[in-house]
Structure 1
Amino acid sequence: MAIFPSIDSDERSTFQSNILSCPSKEQWISFQLVDENGNGAPYAGLCYKLMDSTLVQYVGVLDSKGSAKIHDCYKGPAILYFDSLHSALEQPYRHLADRYFYPLPITELQVRAEKTQFFHKDGFRTEHNPANKNDGNFIQVEVRDLVKNGAHLPPVVDRHYPPKKVLLDAVAQLSPGQDASDLYGVGLMPNRHTVLEVRPLRAFRPLLSTANEFSALNLYQLSIMAGLSYSDFGQKPPVRPTHTVEFKFNPSVGNFFGDALANFRQSWRVEKDQSSVTRYYPLYEEVPYSKRFEILPFDPTLYEMNLPEKEEEQEHPANLHFFTDHNKYWLSGKSTQAYITHHDEIILIGIRGTLEKSDWWRDADAVQVPFEEGTGHVHHGFYDAYKALKKFIQKYLLQFFTGQKIVITGHSLGGAIALILAEALRNDKEQQYDILLYTYGAPRAGDAAFVEAARPLVHHRMVNNDDVVPSVPAPWMNARRTIWLPGLASLFVINPVMAILIFVGGLVRVGGKPYEHHGTLHHFMPVRFGAEEKSSILWNPGCASIEEAACTRALAKDGDLPWRGGLIQQFMSFGDHSLAGSYIPFSWATLRRWQQTEKDSQTVVTNREYRLVSEALQTMRKQVLNKSREAADTKGYANNEPDYIQTVNDYSGEYGKLGTALQRLKSQNDRYLTLKDVYGTAAQSDQLQPTLDRWMAQRENQVQVQIAMIPQLTGYDLEVASAGKPYFLDLDSIV
């Protein structure tokens, strides 16, 4: 229908016949903004702008029902938009709008939408059309549909009643000189009422505790976040973007934070090789979109640093949130990978462990070098990896640190790098960073001086059963060749029927400052009661007989290097080091165990477990005492030769530590858990119960398991555990 009528006959003497008269104002447009429950109250009082086909603007305020009606518009479709910035700017909106780096154009519409809720708990779009009853139009819109700048907003999800872009094109065609690409908003038909259902701006984020104390929640959540570090960022295009970026590849860091969680989708796949048979979902809390873990916007029209003309200096989400130096060092084989993101309370950093042959270079470089950011010496290869990503982390913190808790996680090699990074940040002279570190299967990274100086750093260190990697670099590395007593590495198998532990007399580095472990050990120990029944306990044994069993079994009785033939059997059980196959399942099992024990008012270690394990520890203690006596009954000891004296002292020390382990086991047998033990600071969150309800609705978490039972491995995981897979192999374990 033409909106410009022909010139009337009485006017033709004044105007040429091909000239049109002014457009007629013979139509009305009405509309209503509602949430997914059909309620318009959340949008009451919101300022709107409507532009008709002649580019005339109509400005007004929605009534108490979120409605408005404009009379005497010019004929043709009109465009509705909401570009009023949020004026009150309460936190966190004020900080987001005013920050120096990537300030966000937060509109009042966005704030209103963040305060609405989904009709369906899973966030899927509604299918009803409330406008049918009054012969109106019904469209489902996103906030980004109605505002000019939407790069910081979530991608559009599938909807049943999308807005018609053809209406925007029609306005452009009817307006001389108007480019359709310059128009934004939603097109409305004239002389009809339109209901616009605005999708809530809600997001998921992994629920975390900010307390320094250990919690089963963080144990599980951060094992998954460590697993995410093995994935690429997944941005398209990956480099030199021009207008927009997407994160469609799943799994990827970008898809996880920038697409799935931003769009209220629960994501479980963090590594491409994960089996779909057993899925491990993080516990997600629902938050307003602005409180999600942020993936920064890309908009060259708003941010000069996004301009493609910047070439190598161009900033975009992939190089702001993701670090990899694989291409830089492809000739040498070096490779480091990490990601970083944040919200108003937490900055999260995940660092990748050994994934491929390119990581072996750094794993193998066990020479000690001075730790320039603090005290002591550290593993050269791990320190080299830290220095590779140092500027990347520093730049991000400079831009977005506002006093948040810095939570760092890493597996294997990634755990060692994470420790060095955490201690370097703790020693920062200009900032007082509050750091919490969780590592999984991490090797030693520093010497005794480094570990002592880093004692104030809060570090929870997880070791799974007989994982060999935490036993390296051994304390005897980077030292002069040690003289060992014949038979020092004799193998003791304690109570093979129980099949709980294997103990080997320890080899100890002589002289200098040895490599040492940092942090509070949390050792995951399977306990078998018979051929079928098993459980598992997480505790701190405090003795080398348990923690160092894997390494000491591999040592020859002469020399200071592992016996490579002995390592073959360790590789056959290398599944203990796998993140997806072992650490994430054991973390899940511990969380489920702690949830059950807290709910049922049981102790962390049951009486049955205590009796079994304490008997094994007492047997081990007797064996250590016997070996100590044998070592003392030698000519070398009688002649006060240093190596013999050291051996007896080592056995005596281990005898005492096994006594400590018995005491710690007894304390676990007497310990009852609180909600704070299980969930840390999240125990006080009003989102805890909805989060648990959502998590327990997943079929994997509904399985009724024996308390502390380890989940059954999938076929893929069994294959990895039995034969090993190259990218699970840390070369430093055979150096």
Structure 2
Amino acid sequence: MSAEGCVDCKKLKHSVDLLLVDELDQPIANVPYTLHHSLSMASDSIGGKVAPRTGVTGSDGSIKEKELPAGPVKLVLAADPLATTLQEPHRYLRLSRKEEESAVRAKALGQGRQYRYARMGELVDESPTNIADWEDDLPPAYHFPHAEQGLQGMRLGLLPTAGGPLKLTVEVCPLRAWVLALNHSPDYDLGNAHNLALMAALAYADGEQNEAGVFSGSIQHFFTEQMQDLARQPYQVNGLKANPLVRDVPFDDRYRPPVFINAAQEEKSWFKFKFDTQFFYVERPGELLVSWRGTASGYDALTDLNYQPVPCPDITKVGEIHEGFYRQYKAVEQHPVKEIRVTYNDISLKLGDGLKLFIAGHSLGGALALIHAVSLKKYSPCLYTYGMPRTFTKAALAEIGPDSTIHYRHINEADPVPSVPPGREMDNPTFAVPGLGYVLAPITAPLALLNPFEGDPYQHHGKVVHFYRSHIRYRAPKLPGQGGSRGDRDQVQDYRPLPKQVKLYLVPALARQEKAELQEREQAAEQRAEVKGLFPAGDNPETKVGLGPAAHSSLEYAGYIRKRITGLLAEQHQQPDPFVEQKSEYLAALTAHQKQLYYKVAKRENALLWLDQRLNIALPEADELPLRNGLERFWLSNQGKY
């Protein structure tokens, strides 16, 4: 009803009863407001304008105004105070992002009130000036959905014509953003393992496009759009449809735009032939994440094959490093383009502010990530690598120190890359043979063992995590007609695979953590002793057998971690973990064929099953609501229910 269309509009008295709360039903208190009426800007044809109503929301988030004329009403909140209020630390997001599942909505409708859901941009008529690091002309799309058309506040509609009050509850989305749930801890953390595996996969995308050549799933898309869209969880990493484990934080604590560095050189083909390094980093208050790209080109493959150990005096005074990896890393530090050198150096400059540093990498990217972590060890980096080759020699690693940085090194089944370059004494003069040095060096490496002086072999850094696929066979009599004689034991025995096999998530570091039950401690001590011998320091686990190139994919690593986390969360929801059933069937097969197995094999497999059962220790501890909700969303998403 227009002001001109009703001469009695000013005579009809109405009231407004508004209630502004966040998603947890906490009041939006002490925020200045203006309540505009359509007559506030009308002509004086009916006896003068109606002044806007102003005030401050009550301690319960209420706005109550009486004796308003009939007509449309618009609510405008003060932008800066509202931005401050919506970023208060206790204003977490509710679990579900669906409006129909809102507890605030159900409560309002149950009280006979109208209900609206609003984001900040729908309640203000100007952009706030107190949000950190806005670099774009338009504010973030989710929180300001119609910013391109201009900010106009919230139109509440017509007041009731019968003169009754307009009772409306407005549920306001807190001003927050998603961040990866990362835990800077020396203890193994499954949230770190999954999220950093995805970041290692994301490094294979370029800044503005993924490997398929589209923006969706690129590094920029992931951090600047997916991580700010609260309507859903982040959903795509490079070309992979996957959701990381995330929690919500105040918008000022969001990720800043990521920085992607491509150190490859187009101008000089010989330079690019040697160096084709890419990585990205992204920061937010208190945290910085770096991810290095693995082998993605023929130039990277040549880097991998350049495995002669060479000195690295800027990193260690003794020992050596894989030449190809070292030169690839130095290609960034000594890059001829000043902008790239400056951007790289910015990382260490930022760390002076006390940021928690996380570094990730897959394959070649894992080796580069390790070199980077070692060069920044005074900042206590937390490093997770996947399918990483050997990088430093034994003497270099001794100087670096096994605990100089938090490092968990993942191996998927029989991934061949962690087995290269050869772990024998590679520091031998055979490399000097023109054209054949790299072919002959692995062959002549065992001859170095005849040297009375100790050699300096390649070794691994970090605490190993092995995704072990069993391959156990048992002894059984050969079937009639298969040949052999009773006098030849080898001829009358057949070795058959167990009818059930299993894939286990083995984190030897978890073996050191005891459970509280006293009756388990004696058994745990025995199992720990057995496990310790299977994972020699600086080497691959004895459980790693054979070479399986298909196991090297970064997606294989991330996919298995996701499945195991989902299974552990299912148990918390009183639902079956499929891996528990698989392990039970495997244990039953071991028991049924116990007499046909070598004693040491049966003992080893039981110890590995015990170790796998300790994986739940590594689940993130959800002490606060954002992470509890993040774990719940993660579980629901992987059940197809979110």
Q: Same fold (TM over 0.5)?
A: yes
Residue 276 of structure 2 is matched in structure 1 by 335
Q: How does 1:554-569 map to 2 (within 5 A)?
A: none
**Aligned partner letter, 2:469:** P
Candidates 455, 458, 475, aligned match of 2:406: 458
Residue 486 of structure 2 is matched in structure 1 by none
Q: CA deviation at 1:353?
A: 1.0
Q: CA deviation at 1:414?
A: 0.7
Aligned residues: 516
Q: How does 1:1-16 map to 2 (within 5 A)?
A: none
Does the residue aligned with 2:188 lie in a helix, a strand or coil?
Answer: coil
Relative distance call for 1:438 and 1:672 in structure 2 (3 A) is: closer
Residue 392 of structure 2 is matched in structure 1 by 446
Residue 223 of structure 1 is matched in structure 2 by 197
Matched, 1:46 2:31: yes
**Aligned partner letter, 2:312:** P
Q: Spell out, residue by residue over 1:647-673, the C-alpha distance to the aligned partner (whole angstroms, 9 max, x if none).
A: xxxxxxxxxxxxxxx998776566585
Relative distance call for 1:76 and 1:542 in structure 2 (3 A) is: closer
Does the residue aligned with 2:87 lie in a helix, a strand or coil?
Answer: helix
Q: CA deviation at 1:576?
A: 1.7
8 Å CA contact 1:223, 1:579 repeated in 2: yes
8 Å CA contact 1:446, 1:517 repeated in 2: yes
Candidates 288, 298, 307, aligned match of 1:347: 288
Candidates 254, 257, 273, aligned match of 2:220: 254
Relative distance call for 1:371 and 1:549 in structure 2 (3 A) is: farther
In 2, the alpha carbon distance for the partners of 1:358 and 1:482 equals 21
Q: CA deviation at 1:440?
A: 0.8
**Aligned partner letter, 1:420:** I
Residue 214 of structure 1 is matched in structure 2 by 188
Matched, 1:148 2:133: no
Matched, 1:481 2:430: yes
Relative distance call for 1:672 and 1:411 in structure 2 (3 A) is: closer
In 2, the alpha carbon distance for the partners of 1:2 and 1:590 equals 62
In 2, the alpha carbon distance for the partners of 1:613 and 1:575 equals 34
Matched, 1:407 2:371: no
Q: CA deviation at 1:409?
A: 1.4
Q: CA deviation at 1:352?
A: 1.6
Does the residue aligned with 2:236 lie in a helix, a strand or coil?
Answer: coil
In 2, the alpha carbon distance for the partners of 1:387 and 1:206 equals 29
% of aligned pairs identical? 21
Residue 518 of structure 1 is matched in structure 2 by 461
The TM-score normalised by the length of structure 2 is 0.63
Candidates 375, 381, 400, aligned match of 2:324: 381
Q: CA deviation at 1:129?
A: 12
Relative distance call for 1:330 and 1:578 in structure 2 (3 A) is: farther
Does the residue aligned with 2:502 lie in a helix, a strand or coil?
Answer: strand
Q: CA deviation at 1:515?
A: 2.5
Relative distance call for 1:281 and 1:156 in structure 2 (3 A) is: closer
Relative distance call for 1:129 and 1:122 in structure 2 (3 A) is: closer
Q: CA deviation at 1:698?
A: 3.5
User: Which range moved further: 149-158 or 451-460?
Assistant: 149-158
Residue 245 of structure 2 is matched in structure 1 by 283
In 1, the alpha carbon distance for the partners of 2:307 and 2:179 equals 38
Q: CA deviation at 1:416?
A: 0.3
Q: How does 1:546-695 map to 2 (within 5 A)?
A: 547=540, 573-580=548-555, 582-588=556-562, 591=565, 668=608, 677-679=617-619, 682=621, 684=623, 689-695=628-634
Q: How does 1:186-205 map to 2 (within 5 A)?
A: 197-205=171-179
Residue 642 of structure 1 is matched in structure 2 by none
In 2, the alpha carbon distance for the partners of 1:32 and 1:547 equals 65
Q: CA deviation at 1:372?
A: 1.0
Matched, 1:34 2:11: no
Q: CA deviation at 1:268?
A: 4.1
Q: Spell out, residue by residue over 1:603-629, the C-alpha distance to the aligned partner (whole angstroms, 9 max, x if none).
A: 9x959669989967969xxxxxxxxxx
Residue 421 of structure 1 is matched in structure 2 by 372
User: Which range moved further: 46-55 or 226-235?
Assistant: 46-55
Residue 372 of structure 1 is matched in structure 2 by 314
8 Å CA contact 1:467, 1:576 repeated in 2: yes
The TM-score normalised by the length of structure 1 is 0.56
In 2, the alpha carbon distance for the partners of 1:689 and 1:267 equals 17
Unpaired segments ≥5 residues, structure 1: 5-23, 87-106, 167-180, 237-247, 297-316, 428-432, 484-503, 554-569, 620-661, 703-735
**Aligned partner letter, 1:437:** L
8 Å CA contact 1:38, 1:197 repeated in 2: no
In 1, the alpha carbon distance for the partners of 2:307 and 2:387 equals 17
Q: CA deviation at 1:442?
A: 0.7
Q: CA deviation at 1:679?
A: 2.0
User: Which range moved further: 665-674 or 393-402?
Assistant: 665-674
Candidates 231, 238, 262, aligned match of 1:324: 262
Relative distance call for 1:288 and 1:218 in structure 2 (3 A) is: closer
Relative distance call for 1:513 and 1:112 in structure 2 (3 A) is: closer
In 2, the alpha carbon distance for the partners of 1:111 and 1:684 equals 20
Q: How does 1:125-164 map to 2 (within 5 A)?
A: 140-145=117-122, 146=124, 147-149=126-128, 151=134, 154-156=140-142
**Aligned partner letter, 1:62:** T
Q: Spell out, residue by residue over 1:249-291, the C-alpha distance to the aligned partner (whole angstroms, 9 max, x if none).
A: 321223333322322322343131x4x6xxx54333x433348
Does the residue aligned with 1:42 lie in a helix, a strand or coil?
Answer: coil
8 Å CA contact 1:148, 1:185 repeated in 2: no
Candidates 110, 119, 128, aligned match of 2:86: 110
Does the residue aligned with 2:466 lie in a helix, a strand or coil?
Answer: strand
Q: CA deviation at 1:459?
A: 1.4
Residue 476 of structure 2 is matched in structure 1 by none
In 2, the alpha carbon distance for the partners of 1:132 and 1:550 equals 60
**Aligned partner letter, 1:696:** W
Q: CA deviation at 1:436?
A: 1.5
8 Å CA contact 2:209, 2:216 repeated in 1: no
**Aligned partner letter, 1:121:** S
Residue 304 of structure 2 is matched in structure 1 by 363
8 Å CA contact 2:507, 2:615 repeated in 1: no
In 1, the alpha carbon distance for the partners of 2:603 and 2:500 equals 26
8 Å CA contact 2:363, 2:417 repeated in 1: yes
Q: Spell out, residue by residue over 1:391-425, the C-alpha distance to the aligned partner (whole angstroms, 9 max, x if none).
A: 53541453476434322111001100110010111
In 1, the alpha carbon distance for the partners of 2:259 and 2:118 equals 29
Matched, 1:534 2:501: yes
Unpaired segments ≥5 residues, structure 2: 5-9, 43-48, 161-165, 334-341, 433-442, 473-496, 509-533
In 2, the alpha carbon distance for the partners of 1:322 and 1:694 equals 29
Aligned CA RMSD, in angstroms, stands at 5.4
Q: CA deviation at 1:452?
A: 1.1
Matched, 1:295 2:288: no
Does the residue aligned with 1:48 lie in a helix, a strand or coil?
Answer: strand
Q: Spell out, residue by residue over 1:219-249, the C-alpha distance to the aligned partner (whole angstroms, 9 max, x if none).
A: 333222322222233389xxxxxxxxxxx93
Residue 732 of structure 1 is matched in structure 2 by none
Q: Spell out, residue by residue over 1:332-361, the C-alpha distance to the aligned partner (whole angstroms, 9 max, x if none).
A: 253322232345554322222112334334
**Aligned partner letter, 1:156:** Y
Relative distance call for 1:597 and 1:81 in structure 2 (3 A) is: closer
8 Å CA contact 2:99, 2:117 repeated in 1: no
Does the residue aligned with 2:228 lie in a helix, a strand or coil?
Answer: coil
Residue 696 of structure 1 is matched in structure 2 by 635
In 1, the alpha carbon distance for the partners of 2:218 and 2:77 equals 34
Relative distance call for 1:335 and 1:30 in structure 2 (3 A) is: farther
Relative distance call for 1:685 and 1:505 in structure 2 (3 A) is: farther
In 2, the alpha carbon distance for the partners of 1:700 and 1:76 equals 45
In 2, the alpha carbon distance for the partners of 1:191 and 1:690 equals 38
In 2, the alpha carbon distance for the partners of 1:612 and 1:477 equals 42
